[in-house]
Amino acid sequence: MPADLRIAAAVMEAPLGRTAANFERTAALARQARDAGAQLVCFPEMNLTGYTTRLTARDQALSLADPLVRRLEDLAADLGLVFLAGLAEADDHDRIFASQLVAAPGQAAAVYRKAHVAPPEQGIFSAGADRPLFTVGGWRFGIQLCYDAHFPEWTTRMALDGADVIFFPHASPRGTPEGKLASWCRHLPARAFDNGLFVVACNQSGRNGEGLEFPGVAVAIGPDGQILAQDVSGREGLLCVDLKRSDLEAVRGHRMRYFLPHRRPDLYSSPAAED
């Protein structure tokens, strides 16, 4: 049985157009995560390129062949750490995606592309369609980006695929840290509780240099829907949490509290929706 998993969720400033400086800030936080014993560190949505809903997003977008991606892979190898790092990604067909890279030691970077594009982002970003799962220390994890979190079916599909934890990097502006956490607590605990898995979310902080300000916030939620740890300081930093295998087993071994095995998709899903 896989051991417990120590993760770090980063709250980070990511000014638009400051990609080199953002990478150095990412590297510094990653080293702190390594020193704290984390096996994985999750950064906010678009922490490398900065976030915007303006056309300038195209000017900042990076391809997966960009040297910065190679540097991220090298850093993951040097630190022995799995990275979840965000960027505006340009593909070979002139499309821009809100993407999260997964860089693991000794592996080429993989990618998750945001599937649900928020209304202010439409016309700038294209929508992804894949729901890959990744592994670290015997744990299987998925990624959803910000607006993705509002679509329960997406989390359930990842849970049915075998996810133990889902990371929710955000670039969610406006409000206070306390207000942002209260907003998240309307839906993120339900994603954890209904699907019997851990949920970890983190957000950008500070100003992006193009009119947006982010209140920070990081939170980890157990498979029972209860908050394990939170950071509402609004400042850049790390929330380090041990995800305990016993907490997962306590829910998944409970005849009343693990709901997935008792779904009735024949009642509420079309054959097409069930793949």
pLDDT in tens, 9-28: 999 999 999 999 999 999 99
**pLDDT of 272 above 70:** no
Give me the CATH code for the 5-261 domain, please. 3.60.110.10
Looking at the DSSP assignment, which residues form a beta bridge with residue 40?
Answer: 7, 82
For residue 57, which of 96, 19, 12 has the smallest C-alpha distance?
96
For residue 99, which of 43, 28, 54, 172 has the smallest C-alpha distance?
43
φ, ψ dihedrals at 82, nearest 5°? -85, 130
Q: What is the pLDDT of residue 271?
A: 56
* pLDDT tens, residue by residue, 126-161: 999 999 999 999 999 999 999 999 999 999 999 999
Q: What is the pLDDT of residue 268?
A: 85
Q: Mean pLDDT over residues 173-199, rounded?
A: 97
* pLDDT tens, residue by residue, 43-57: 999 999 999 999 888
Predicted TM-score (pTM) of the model is: 0.95
Looking at the DSSP assignment, which residues form a beta bridge with residue 166?
Answer: 142, 199
**pLDDT of 235 above 90:** yes
Structural contact between residues 224 and 239, judged by C-beta atoms closer than 8 angstroms: no
C-beta atoms surrounding 246 within 10 Å:
9
Q: Mean pLDDT over residues 109-132, rounded?
A: 97
The tally of CA atoms less than 13 A away on the side-chain side of residue 211 is: 4
Where along the chain do its domains lie? 5-261
